[in-house]
Structure 1
Amino acid sequence: MMTTMHSHSPLLTRYRWKTTLWILLAAWSWSAASQAQDVAPLAPTPVPEVVPPPPMPQPVALPQLSTGQLIQLASLVGKDAVAQGLSDTPPAVPTDNDGLVRAALDHAKAVHSGRLAEADFQRDWAMRPTAYDPLPAFRNAVASDRLAAWIASLPPPYAGYDTLVAGLARYRAIAAADGWTMMTPGPELAFGMTGARVTALRRRLAVEDLQVTGSGDRFDASLLEAVRRAQRRYGLNPSGKVGAQTLAALNVPVDARIRQIKANMERWRWLPPELAKNRVQVNIAAAVLTLFDGDAPVLSMKAVTGRPGDETPMISSQIHSIVLNPPWNVPSGIANRELWPKEKASPGYLVRNGFRIIEAPDGTKRLQQSSERSALGKFKFDFANAFSVYLHDTPAQSGFARFDRLASHGCVRLEKPAVLAKALMSSTPEWTPDAIDKAVATGKTVRAKVADPVAVYLLYWTAFANPAGQVSFRSDPYTWDGTLATKIEARSARQALAAR
């Protein structure tokens, strides 16, 4: 007798559940397999390439010196550090081979290209020393036993630097002899006067000027000439009368003069290994331009350079063109500080002075002064630089009569721009002196390209000497001497601390 299963029996329920699960699994497997035919297989995970670490830099093998070379090099470095103004007394140097060699290489870098790091330079000290590795030449000097010649080859190869080395030695000798006594303030000293202050003046001048002759307390003709020589050395009006300005220059302590000489020697080390033989050179502090032809000065003229706050930067470049009858595109800083306020105070000022307002597409306004009234005069000498400065003419000729000629916004105004333009165009056939005169006379703006671009150097010399070691000084209008000396001293102190 067959037994009929009840539809709700546990056995049937488990059977149906297993059957259903099997069907679902089979359907899922079939669907997944079908979809897999349309999907690209996963790319295998790439195995990262094993890059070996860069090899550790191997220490540079330094030359091995003989016993005689060790003694000689230690003596040479010590003496040269004093002569080059790096130290006032011979520095202690290591006695072991590698330590002494490293000290000599550090000395070479300091003498050849200065002691500042890149971070120490101000932006407007745009003259930078070229990269220099002293090791190859030092190796040759050791191999050929010519260490003295190697030391002698390190300083900048310029007569201007050599004369400062002689000047430094002279002022150190003055300092060793107790320098000079400060002049006491009082009424202006002049020719014909007598007294103790005149005696003191003669004694003071004799310390720096070997030409001072005579004795006594009378302001005679020889003392008059000595005063004028001193005033020329200090960049003052050579009136022969000793007033407040001359007294201030005479009372600068000898130690401050030595520090000033050292700062200028340091700036010489920033120059390229060779200056262009044909060049325009501007001494910013003295406000003088000199033209060199074949490395010989052939033209000199007064200039007006940047006033403190609008410093003329130290740069080197090339004059590539001269703009005749240039308009003046006024820098926004000058317009905002000086011209817009004048227009507000006196409406119509801009029109009366030849300015026109130019609106830019963005709505800003700038000023341009027409060539007929341009503050740039008739000549503008263009050269590439990051400061938008240039050499130019000026209708304000009275500024050249002053002895203190730091009065511009940073550009360099020239006393004789036409003479300079004709000299620079001497190798450009289409721009003869007559052609230049005619173009200027038209009043039209013309850009004349210089066939052979001429190097231009804007330099800051506050101490410079003649071949006899007689040093001329200028004031430090931008305080760059003091800033530079402080930076050098700070870096030297950090290096000394790190070496302990």
Structure 2
Amino acid sequence: ILLQELARYRQLVASGGWTQVSTRRVLHPGDTATSHVLGALLGRLHAEGYTPLVPLVPADTAPPALRSETVIARGPSGPAVYDLALAVAVAAYQQRHGLTVDSVVGPNTLLSLNRPAEFRMRQIAANLERHRWLPRERGNRFVVVNVPAFRLRAYDAGREALSMNVIVGAEYGGRSTPVFSDSMSYVVFRPYWNVPQGIASRELWPKQQNDPSYFQRNGYEVVHATWGTFVRQKPALGNALGRVKFIFPNDHAIYLHDTPAQALFVEPVRAFSHGCIRVEHPDQLAQFVLGPQGWDIDRVREAMTSSGDDHRVNLEHKLPVYIVYFTTYVRNGMLHFANDIYDRDDALVRAMGAPEQLHSRMVQIPSHSASRLEHDFE
């Protein structure tokens, strides 16, 4: 499907792309603006298939429920209403572009709308190139985390068995979640959190110095080992790793884990961690991981709440884990653009060269292979 979408966007570019949307204020459903502004918004959404071209609702004929008390922005073509049909189309656009879904045309939505068609075409091609970097054989059972989509998906025998939201590394301070693949080898229930020295020195020790009770109140203890001193957080409801962590040893010290900060999973942009990946439903993931060893959901939940501290369970068969960075992908047959949280697309798009080069390189991917990758790594 990505190859088909690349061809569609090439046609959009060849036909002149789409018009820019220009508005000096935030537009809310029910607001009035010039028909020039709303017409440009309508045309822009229509270009990508989000709405048919329909007449705008004149401000003086709109029902009172659709009118806004904001000042009418009168222009040469007269005022019109940002009506319900247009609001629904904007919401659909936002949902498929990694934006807050509120039908409000604010700075972020406007910036996204005004990305040129050529950039979107190149972005699709660049993500197809990312697919080329991945192994064609991934095993029978595996886990995929798409960082920009803030989503984890687990597959069994080629079928999606599990899907959930995740929280990934913040885009600043060297906290970004790296892209790599490795194999999960064990799970730890009721884990200690051995705080990395950098986090302890930057964040924890200053708090302890300002408040000598901070460590005790938050379950931290100072451990003196033969190789040095470190801070760790004891297993508890407030432990930063929650009640279970999933380990796939790697040079990046990245792993999956539970979190007590469940409220963050409702945020549209979930880049809050120091680099590790927090999972929304750790019990379901643990059941998927340990299911082949006879673990059902009740046994998992019991281990999360009442097993011994730092209880390790080794996997009989290692489970491949792929951490990927796809800012375009297909879900339920529809093209989505994810939030490019680490600003990696611009450099890759430039490196991919001219539009003609993009197309010629991408069509070398066998269509059946590309289709399979799109499904697996959405």
Q: What TM bracket, shorter-length normalisation?
A: 0.7 to 0.9
Contact 2:43 2:53 in 1 (8 A): no
Measured after TM superposition, the shift of residue 184 of structure 1 is 1.0
Q: Identify the residue that residue 279 of structure 1 maps to in structure 2.
A: 142
**Rounded Cα–Cα distance in structure 2 between residues aligned with 1:432 and 1:231:** 38
Residue number in structure 1 paired with 2:209: 344
Partner of 2:338: 474
Q: Secondary structure at 2:139's aligned position in 1? A: coil
Compute the RMSD of aligned alpha carbons. 2.1
Task: Tell me, in whole angstroms, the C-alpha distance in 1 between the residues paired with 2:2 and 2:138.
Answer: 18
Aligned residues: 326
Amino acid at match of 1:172: R
Structure 1 residues 213, 419: CA separation in 2 closer, same or farther (over 3 Å shift)? Answer: farther
Whether 2:47 is the aligned partner of 1:207: answer: yes
Q: CA deviation at 1:460?
A: 0.3
The answer (yes or no) to whether the contact 2:126–2:352 under 8 Å persists in 1 is no
Show CA shifts across 1:197-243 (max 9, x none): 22221111001125435222443332222111101111122212222
Query: Using the alignment, how far apart are the partners of 1:304 and 1:368 within structure 2?
Result: 22
Q: One-letter code of the match for 2:245?
A: K
Q: Tell me the residue number matched to 2:12.
A: 174
Q: Which residue of 1 aligns with 2:167?
A: 304
Residue type matched to 1:387 in 2?
H
SS of the counterpart of 1:399? helix
Opposite residue 117 of structure 2, the aligned amino acid is V
Q: How does 1:358-397 map to 2 (within 5 A)?
A: 358-362=223-227, 364-372=228-236, 373-397=238-262
Q: What amino acid maps onto 2:298 in structure 1?
A: D
Match of 1:433 among 297, 309, 313: 297
Look up the match of 1:332: 197
The residue number in structure 1 matching 2:84 is 221
Instruction: Quote the offset at 1:406 in angstroms.
Output: 0.9
| Contact 2:144–2:321 under 8 Å retained in 1 | yes
Q: Residue type of the partner of 1:205?
A: L
Q: Secondary structure at the match of 1:202?
A: helix
Q: Is the 8 A contact 1:316 1:455 kept in 2?
A: yes
Shift of the alpha carbon at 1:322?
1.2
The 2-side partners of 1:213 and 1:485 are apart by 31
Measure the CA separation in 2 of the matches of 1:303 and 1:236.
16
The equivalent residue for 1:252 is 115
8 Å contact from structure 1 (residues 189, 198) kept in 2: no
Question: CA separation in 2, counterparts of 1:454 and 1:466?
Answer: 24
TM-score after normalising by structure 2: 0.81
Worse overlay, 480-489 or 252-261 = 480-489
SS in 2 for 1:458: strand
Instruction: Give the whole-Å Cα distance in 1 for the aligned partners of 2:112 and 2:40.
Output: 15
- Aligned residue identity for 2:293: T
Which of 303, 324, 327 aligns to 1:459? It is 324
Q: 1:340 to 1:244 in 2, by over 3 A?
A: same
Q: In the alignment, is the contact (CA less than 8 A) between 2:151 and 2:163 conserved in 1? A: yes
**What is the CA distance between 1:259 and its match in structure 2?**
2.5
- The alignment partner of 1:317 has SS state of strand
- The one-letter amino acid paired with 1:212 is P
Tell me if structure 2 keeps the 8 A contact 1:320–1:449: yes
1:190 counterpart = 2:28: yes
Q: Distance in 1 between matches of 2:50 and 2:242?
A: 44
Greater share of helix:
1
Could you tell me how far apart the structure 1 residues matched to 2:206 and 2:185 are? 35
Q: Which amino acid aligns with 2:296?
A: T
Q: Deviations over 1:440-459 (max 9, x none)?
A: 22252211123333221110
Distance 1:436 1:297 in 2: 21
Corresponding residue to 1:410 among 260, 275, 282: 275
The separation in 1 between residues aligned to 2:339 and 2:266, in whole angstroms, is 18
Identity %: 37
Query: What's the CA shift for 1:462?
Result: 0.6
Deviations 1:377-431, CA, capped at 9 Å, x for gaps: 01101112111110000001111010010111111001111111112221112x3
Structure 2: which amino acid aligns with 1:482? Answer: D
Counterpart Cα distance in 2 of 1:444 and 1:478: 39
Q: Is the contact between residue 190 and residue 307 of structure 2 (CA under 8 Å) also seen in structure 1?
A: yes
Deviation at 1:172, TM superposition (A): 1.5
Q: Are the counterparts in 2 of residues 328 and 376 from structure 1 also a CA contact under 8 Å? A: yes
Q: Label 1:405 to 1:467 Cα distance change in 2 as closer, same or farther (>3 A).
A: closer
Deviation digits for residues 287-308 of structure 1, max 9, x if unmatched? 1111112211122111001111
In the other structure, the counterpart of 1:143 is none
Residue 264 and residue 294 in structure 1: after superposition, are their counterparts in 2 closer, same or farther (change >3 A)? same
Amino acid at match of 1:348: S
Secondary structure of the residue that 2:208 maps to in structure 1? helix
Amino acid at match of 1:233: R
Q: For structure 1, which runs of at least 5 residues remain unmatched after alignment?
A: 1-162, 493-500
Letter in 1 for 2:158: D
Aligned to 2:240, the other structure's residue is in SS state coil
State the alpha-carbon separation in 1 of the partners of residues 319 and 82 from structure 2: 48
Q: CA deviation at 1:436?
A: 2.1
